[in-house]
A and B are shown apart, each in its own frame.
Chain A
């Protein structure tokens, strides 16, 4: 098993798309990326804090480290495109424009939450923002996201469905059932595999025979690419290409986003399956937010202006936490609502 471990460590920093630099962002794009990624990070830090205080119950899976993926992908989408994901979903909701207040209040199980407190961290939806959840069963969102793409094709619109899942979910059978149908019927779905190297506590090399996830569609003739998921520019560039492929009616596309989760799988995970040095190295060398911050400074944006962005984001997050802790619990009558229409 020693050999397997070695490969894990090696895979940790390899990024095949790193060779050619992605196209530059404009200053406005960089600022938007910074703001949106910071919002997710600060939100997640606050969620972690509230969990520690006992204000959030059950499971809580934080997205810290992976922010560039949803933010970059969202920059490649247009109105009407759908987003669906698994249980590590807070970042996706914020990226689609769902309000921090409603998400945080759902985490605390309050009536002002997106699901009136009945869904919790893993089950939130927004029809308005085309966010289709928030699914707690690993891999289920892949078939569902394929169904969203089916609906686009059935209706003859040019919208695209983005189905996010992890390296762990990539080993579920229904993923391949969906790949087969998506290519067979040329459905407009981008499968975004967020490879954060660990399926809960099991590293990719210990769980996957083929660790290059961009190749997982080969036997269905689905094209795939590996992307530096820590560089928001690379994510957007890959997203633009994949989404256009779908809009052109060419069928599905797979993007393997190489990323890293800084926190444990969930709040109760001490993450003893990896070293602190590994985490620190990614944080230090590849942090998606630091990358943008440094580029903005190089573009002549002042420290002061960057602090303003941080202050704006913190204000939103603090307000959401305040609301989420003071909002009322759902009325007992809510127990019996929303079972059937």
Chain B
């Protein structure tokens, strides 16, 4: 059977082109790879290479022909022993036409042009948004609570998981000999040695990639960033490699890794060291994002993050490292990822925050109580997946909500909370959702300006009163 040479599409958008020149004549021997013709596309002049071997049988489209549709047979190639008359050209053309129509919608890649049934079905397919995470495990009655600083709780969580699983290791700048830039990894080198507690050079992009590669090979790295501000150098590896590979590999290649470190504004370190990445990472499918407030939650959730088979962003807050809190003295205190906690119950307004934002939220609730406003305070703890159910249940009860975050307002987590409340509890709302956030400026250095740039207890109180029309 003679082989048709079809008019090629050389870009995803090309539908036709001009056949400008034949470089082979009928009867010429053709090897695959030979340039047989030149065509003009919408972009440039391109060469048509033969992909089959034989003899050029018939030229079906003469040179100089304009607007030749993609997939039109332009010539035939004869195999050994065939002659040109064997080519049933008209029939071949018909087939090719049918094919070209069929292929067109595949090739355009323009969703508006090719509305596929799959798109429509996908819409009605439930998105995996309504997570119903496990509730916190009950802490048995009489369990001893030990006052622990946050940095110790984080260290304990890592040490426990490293004892439990030899594939878990930690790498980052100053995590070993220096005992951690913020002393979070204190004592780990002494217990686990330099094979598992690894000082890296100052090379965030590189060691994030090394960590992701090790995770693809099945290890369970904890990658510490001295702060998440420096992880911007590594964000390509976090998002393009860690978050997307499971999907891109059709489920074959997972990436069990934890990226952790302090996030957000510390104190007087100015714009480049004070950014909140909550909104950045929580936008990305394929990541889990955890940002706890209480010491016990930090411990239980870091243990869960290390065990999770997915890439987890674990956002800590430097202002909380020295804070002490009660941690249950249990062999294995692991909390569910994706579950918010109602920290304080109240009937009049729901205040939602996470991480260091909770300090404003809780103090504001105390203030509001003095004025007779009972605020319900929710600590999100996990930003992705977001526990929409807990939020909506509370707002349906109170009818009012205030979102509090240290990060910027535009496209922030507060904006997402506001949208989800509007979508899921619109009929229950007695006032528009209010947002309290960091101001829309780079973080200033001067003490007074820094204070102004961050949310305050007074801001939260004012917002809560506003939604209560008080």
Contact = CB atoms under 8 A, between A and B. Distances in A.
Interface of A: 41-42, 45-46, 48-49, 51-55, 57-58, 64, 82, 84, 113-119, 123-127, 132-137, 140, 142-152, 154, 173-174, 177-178, 180-181, 184, 262-263, 267-268, 270, 272, 276, 283, 329, 332-333, 335-341
Nearest to A174: B205
B209 A144 contact: yes
A55 B248 contact: no
B448 interface: no
A147 B212 contact: yes
Given A270-B46, A335-B125, A54 B106 contact: yes
Interface centre among B49, B117, B210 (most CB of A within 10 A): B210
Given A181-B206, A267-B10, A272-B44, A53 B71 contact: yes
A91 B400 CA distance: 59
Contact of B246 (A117, A263, A329, A339): A339
Given A54-B71, A270-B43, A333 B250 contact: no
B12 interface: yes
Contacts of A125: 245, 248-249, 252-253
Interface string B92-136: 000000011001101101000000011001100101100000000
Contacts of B310: 340-341
Q: Which of B207, B212, B236 has the most CB of A within 10 A?
A: B207
B242 to A, nearest CB: 10
Contacts of A337: 251
Interface residues of B, number: 72
A119 B248 contact: yes
Contacts of A45: 32-33, 49, 51
B216 interface: yes
B33 A147 contact: no
Nearest to B128: A336
A58 B12 contact: yes
Contacts of A335: 118, 122, 125
B310 to A, nearest CB: 5
Nearest to B210: A147
Contacts of B164: none
A177 B213 CA distance: 14
A338 B246 contact: yes
Given A52-B6, A140-B237, A181-B200, A341 B246 contact: yes
Nearest to B11: A268
A52 to B, nearest CB: 3
B215 interface: yes
B125 A154 contact: no
A285 to B, nearest CB: 14
Contact of A54 (B32, B104, B122): B104
Given A49-B51, A125-B252, A339-B286, A118 B247 contact: yes
Given A146-B210, A181-B201, A262 B33 contact: yes
Given A177-B205, A178-B210, A341-B309, 7 more contacts: A52-B10, A125-B253, A132-B216, A154-B195, A154-B214, A181-B207, A329-B118
A150 B118 contact: no
A244 B352 CA distance: 58
B236 A137 contact: yes
27 contacts: A52-B8, A52-B70, A53-B103, A58-B109, A115-B248, A118-B248, A119-B248, A119-B249, A127-B253, A133-B248, A136-B240, A137-B241, A143-B205, A143-B212, A144-B216, A146-B206, A147-B214, A154-B214, A177-B201, A181-B203, A181-B206, A267-B11, A268-B11, A332-B122, A332-B125, A336-B125, A340-B246
B399 to A, nearest CB: 33
Contacts of B206: 143, 146, 174, 177-178, 180-181
A133 B249 contact: yes
Given A333-B125, A339-B247, A150 B210 contact: yes
B428 to A, nearest CB: 29
B106 A140 contact: no
Residue from the set A42, A64, A268 with the largest chain B CB neighbour count within 10 Å: A268
Interface in B212-267: 212-219, 236-237, 240-241, 245-254
B288 interface: yes
B208 interface: yes
Closest 5 pairs (CB-CB, A-B): A147-B213, A143-B209, A177-B206, A52-B8, A54-B107
B172 interface: no
Nearest to A335: B122
A337 B251 CA distance: 8
Contact of B251 (A58, A144, A173, A338): A338
Given A48-B51, A54-B71, A64-B33, A143 B253 contact: no
A150 B214 contact: yes
B303 to A, nearest CB: 17
A231 to B, nearest CB: 19
B408 interface: no
Given A118-B247, A272-B44, A148 B125 contact: no
B285 interface: yes
Nearest to A146: B210
B169 interface: yes
Contact of A148 (B118, B214, B288): B214
B9 interface: yes
B35 interface: yes
A231 B413 CA distance: 56
A312 to B, nearest CB: 15
Contact of A118 (B33, B47, B250): B250
Nearest to A142: B209
Contacts of B247: 118, 338-339
B45 interface: yes
B368 to A, nearest CB: 38
B217 A147 contact: yes
B228 to A, nearest CB: 19
A277 to B, nearest CB: 12
